[in-house]
Chains A and B, each alone.
Chain A
Amino acid sequence: MFSKLKVIGAAALGTALALSATVAGAEKLVVSNWDGYMAPGAIDAFNEATGNEAELVLHGTNEEIMGKLIASKGKGYDVVFVSSPFAEVLHNLGLAEELDHDKIPNITNLYEQATQLSHDEGNTFSLPYAWGTTGLCYRSDLVEGTPDSWSDLLKPTEALSGKTTMLATDRWLLGAAMLANGYSVNTTDADELATVRDQLIETKGTLLAYDDTTFYAKLVSGEAELVQAWDGWCNYGIAENADIKYIVPSEGSDLWVDTMVILKNSEHKEAAYAFVDFILEPANHGWAAENILYKVPNKSAMEALSEDFVAQYPNMGITPDQLLKYEQLRDVGEAQRAYSRIVSEIKAN
C-alpha cells in the first residue's frame, strides 16, 4: 500500500515539478545537515527516485544553522537537521511547519515511542532522525572496576586523576553534574545551578581536558581512560579498540534527539515532505545506524541490523522504552545566559 502511495506521490510530484519548471525554471530543494550525517548518495538517490533537484548544504553546529535561519526567517531552506532543543526554538519562533502526517507515509516505520518525545509529543513539527544517551566511555583494561556512576567521573580516583575528559558543550557539561545530584537536566533553580557550578569547578582540577571531538581518540591512545561521551561517538573508539566500553551511569542520562524540521517558509513543501519520507525508508534511515553508529528511532531499520553488529555496539541494544525514561534537554530560554555564565566561571577558575 505504501509503495503504491509512493508511486502516486512521485507521479503527482513529477507533474507538479514539471508545471513549476515551465513556470519558474527548475527549483532546488535545500536540505541542511551536519557533514556525514546521512548516506553520501542519499540526495542523488532521492533526486533520481523523485525527479527533484535537491541540494545538500552543511552546517557545523546547531547554533550555526540557527543563526542563519533566524536571520533569514527560515527562507532559503526547506529541510534542516537540528537537535531537539533547537527544533523547539524553531517551533517557538514560528519557523517550523506544522507537519501533515498524511504526506509522510513512512512515519509508520518509527517506533511508537518516537511520538512521545517531550520536546514534541505527536511529532507535530519535527521528526526524530537519531536518538541516544550520554554516558561514560572507558578503557576496561586500564580502569579498575566498572564505573557506573557520574561520580566516578566527577570525583575520580587517584589513579584516574588527569586521565578523564568531559564534554565541552555547556548543556552536557552541566548535565553530568545535574544528573549526579539528581537534578533535572533542564533545571533553572539558582541553588541547584550553584551546586553544579561548585562541583564542576572542583572536578576541573582532575580533568585532562574538555573535549567534544577527539575524546574517543584519546581513549584509543590511552591518553585518557574514562570520558564523558555520546554513545555514538564512543562507538568510534570501540570500533578501534574492543577494550573500550560504554555505560549509562546509574543516575541516568539525558535523552538526546536529532530531528528533521520542514521550514514554514519553505517554497517547496511537497518536495520537502517527499524528502523526509524518503529518509524514513528503512534502508535510508538504517544507513545512519550502520555507518555513524547512532541509534535511529526507525523500528524497521533497527530490526534489520545484524545480531553481531548489535553485540559489538551495545548502545544499539538500548530499547526505546529505556530511552524514554531519560529526560530530554529542552530549550531553557532566558536561563541560557545563566548557563553560559556558569561555564565561563568554571573555565575562569
Chain B
Amino acid sequence: MTDRKPLYLMTPALVWLTAFMVVPCLLVLALAFFRRGIYGGIEYTFTMENIALVFDPLYAGIFLKSAWIAGLSATIAVVIGYAAAYAIAAAPSRRQATLLFFAVLPFWSNYLVRTYAWIVMLNREGLIAGVAVWLGYDGDLPKMLYTETAVVIGLVYNYLPFVILACYAPLSRLNPEIAEASRDLGGGGWTTFRRVILPMTVPGIATGFVFVFVLSIGNFVTPALLGGGQFQMIGNLVYAQFLTANDWPFGAALSMFLIAIMMGLLTLQTFATERASGARRED
C-alpha cells in the first residue's frame, strides 16, 4: 500500500464525490444564509435568521423528537439484528448464505411497497384486526396505525437487514478458539459473550446503530405514511420547507444541522471501530 499507484485509482471516486456531494452540500450551506423571497424563491441578502430559527424551541423540539424516534428504532433494530446475526454466524456454514439471503430478501421490493404492507397489516380493517376478530375478539382494538409505535415498527423493519449484515461481518470472522480459550479459563457462556464476544463485535454494532439512526432521523416517508402525518420528524420539516412553504433558505439551514448531526455520529462510529480494533491488536 506504500505504492502510490492505487491513489490514482481513487480519482474517479473523488471527482464523483466532489461534484455530486461536496459541491451540492456547499450550495445548501450557502442557501441557509439568504432570505426567502416574498413569493418564494431566494432573495440574496445575507441573514443569520434561518440559523437562529433552527434553535427556536419549536424546531429544536422537533429535532429532539426525531432523535428520540431514530434512537429508539436503532436500539430495537440492534437488539433484534444482533441476535439474528449471532444465530446466522452460529449456523452450519453451508446454511449461512441461505439465511443471509432471507435476511436481505425484503430489499428486493420497494421501500414504499414495504411500508404500505404495514398499513395493510395495522389498519383498523386490516390483517391483524381481522385475525383478532377471527379469533373471537369483539372489543375495540387499540389504534395501531398512525401512531408513533407504527413509525418505529416501520423503521425497524425497513432497516433491520443493515444491522444484520453489519453485525454478521465481525461475528463470522471471530476466531472460535478465542471463545474456547475463555471457557477453558472458566468463563461461563454469558461471561464469554459479555467480556469476549461483545467487545470484539462493537464495530458491527456501532455501524448497524449509526446506519439505522442516520437513515431514520432523515426519513420522511415512514412518518407520513405510518404516522398519519400527525407528528413531524426533521425530514418532514425539511420536506415541508422545500416543497410546501417554498422557504428554501430555512429548509437549507435545517438540512445543514441534520448533516452536522450525521457527520458527528459517523465520526463517533469511526472512533468506536478504531478503538475496538486497536484493543484487539493489543490483545
Nearest-Cβ distance from residue A17 to partner chain B, whole angstroms: 34
Interface segment among A108-116, A147-155, A203-211, A236-244: the answer is: A203-211
Q: Is the CB of B229 within 8 A of A348?
A: no
**One of B39, B65, B231, B247 near A331 (C-beta < 8 A):** B39
Tell me, in angstroms, the Cα distance from A204 to B38 when the chains sit together. 30
Is B125 in the interface zone, CB < 8 Å from A? yes
Q: Is the CB of A337 within 8 A of B243?
A: no
Show 10 A/B contacts (Cβ-Cβ < 8 Å), sorted by A. Answer: A66-B246, A93-B39, A170-B244, A204-B230, A223-B125, A339-B245, A341-B58, A344-B58, A348-B65, A348-B231
Nearest-Cβ distance from residue B228 to partner chain A, whole angstroms: 3
Nearest-Cβ distance from residue B134 to partner chain A, whole angstroms: 17
Q: Which residues 182-229 of B have a CB within 8 angstroms of A?
A: 224, 228-229
**B 116-145 binary contact with A (CB < 8 Å = 1; else 0):** 000000011100000000000000000101
**A 59-95 binary contact with B (CB < 8 Å = 1; else 0):** 0010110110010000000000000000001001100
Tell me, in angstroms, the Cα distance from A221 to B130 when the chains sit together. 13
Q: Is the CB of A93 within 8 A of B41?
A: yes
Q: Is the CB of A207 within 8 A of B230?
A: yes
Is B86 in the interface zone, CB < 8 Å from A? no
Is A340 in the interface zone, CB < 8 Å from B? yes
Nearest-Cβ distance from residue A201 to partner chain B, whole angstroms: 11
Q: Is the CB of A344 within 8 A of B232?
A: yes
Q: Is the CB of B125 within 8 A of A222?
A: yes
Q: Is the CB of A337 within 8 A of B245?
A: yes
Tell me, in angstroms, the Cα distance from A345 to B240 when the chains sit together. 13
Q: Which residues 189-218 of A have a CB within 8 angstroms of B?
A: 204, 207-211
Tell me, in angstroms, the Cα distance from A333 to B37 when the chains sit together. 9
Q: Is the CB of B232 within 8 A of A209?
A: no
Name A338's closest neighbour in chain B (CB-CB): B245
Nearest-Cβ distance from residue B249 to partner chain A, whole angstroms: 11
Given contacts A211-B229, A340-B240, 14 further A-B contacts (CB under 8 A): A63-B246, A70-B40, A168-B224, A170-B240, A209-B230, A211-B228, A333-B39, A336-B40, A341-B58, A343-B240, A344-B58, A344-B232, A347-B236, A348-B61
Q: Is the CB of B58 within 8 A of A345?
A: yes
Rank and list the top 4 A-B pairs by shortest CB-CB distance, nearest first. Answer: A209-B228, A210-B229, A340-B245, A347-B232
Contacts of B252 in A (CB 8 A): none
Q: Is the CB of B124 within 8 A of A223?
A: yes
Contacts of B236 in A (CB 8 A): 347
Interface residues on B, range: 20 to 34
Which B positions have Cβ atoms within 8 angstroms of A? 36, 38-41, 58-59, 61-62, 65, 123-125, 143, 145-146, 224, 228-232, 236-237, 240-248, 250
Which A positions have Cβ atoms within 8 angstroms of B? 61, 63-64, 66-67, 70, 89, 92-93, 162, 165, 168-170, 204, 207-211, 221-223, 331, 333-334, 336-337, 339-341, 343-345, 347-348
- The verdict on A89 contacting B40 (CB below 8 Å), with A63-B246, A169-B244, A209-B230 known, is yes
Nearest-Cβ distance from residue B234 to partner chain A, whole angstroms: 11
- The verdict on A336 contacting B230 (CB below 8 Å), with A93-B41, A223-B124 known, is no
Nearest-Cβ distance from residue B258 to partner chain A, whole angstroms: 16
Contacts of B224 in A (CB 8 A): 168
Chain A facing B: main interface SS: helix
Q: Is the CB of B62 within 8 A of A348?
A: yes
Name A61's closest neighbour in chain B (CB-CB): B243
Tell me, in angstroms, the Cα distance from A196 to B125 when the chains sit together. 32
Tell me, in angstroms, the Cα distance from A61 to B242 when the chains sit together. 12
Q: Is the CB of B146 within 8 A of A208?
A: yes
Contacts of B143 in A (CB 8 A): 162
Tell me, in angstroms, the Cα distance from A336 to B143 when the chains sit together. 34
Name B39's closest neighbour in chain A (CB-CB): A89
Name A341's closest neighbour in chain B (CB-CB): B58
Q: Is the CB of B245 within 8 A of A336?
A: yes
Nearest-Cβ distance from residue A170 to partner chain B, whole angstroms: 6
Contacts of A165 in B (CB 8 A): 228
Tell me, in angstroms, the Cα distance from A339 to B36 when the chains sit together. 14
Q: Is the CB of B244 within 8 A of A340?
A: yes
Contacts of B241 in A (CB 8 A): 340
**One of B38, B145, B232, B243 near A63 (C-beta < 8 A):** B243
Tell me, in angstroms, the Cα distance from A211 to B228 when the chains sit together. 7
Tell me, in angstroms, the Cα distance from A341 to B36 when the chains sit together. 14
Tell me, in angstroms, the Cα distance from A221 to B124 when the chains sit together. 9
Tell me, in angstroms, the Cα distance from A331 to B62 when the chains sit together. 27
Tell me, in angstroms, the Cα distance from A222 to B123 when the chains sit together. 11
Contacts of B229 in A (CB 8 A): 168, 209-211, 347
Nearest-Cβ distance from residue A164 to partner chain B, whole angstroms: 12
Nearest-Cβ distance from residue B70 to partner chain A, whole angstroms: 16
**One of A93, A208, A340, A341 near B228 (C-beta < 8 A):** A208
Q: Is the CB of A223 within 8 A of B123?
A: yes
Tell me, in angstroms, the Cα distance from A343 to B143 when the chains sit together. 23
Contacts of A204 in B (CB 8 A): 230
Name A340's closest neighbour in chain B (CB-CB): B245
Q: Is the CB of B247 within 8 A of A340?
A: yes
Nearest-Cβ distance from residue B79 to partner chain A, whole angstroms: 29
Q: Is the CB of B61 within 8 A of A337?
A: no
Q: Is the CB of B41 within 8 A of A347?
A: no
Name A343's closest neighbour in chain B (CB-CB): B240
Tell me, in angstroms, the Cα distance from A339 to B244 when the chains sit together. 10
Nearest-Cβ distance from residue A70 to partner chain B, whole angstroms: 4
Name B65's closest neighbour in chain A (CB-CB): A348
Name A347's closest neighbour in chain B (CB-CB): B232
Nearest-Cβ distance from residue A219 to partner chain B, whole angstroms: 11
Tell me, in angstroms, the Cα distance from A221 to B123 when the chains sit together. 10
Contacts of B230 in A (CB 8 A): 204, 207, 209-210, 347
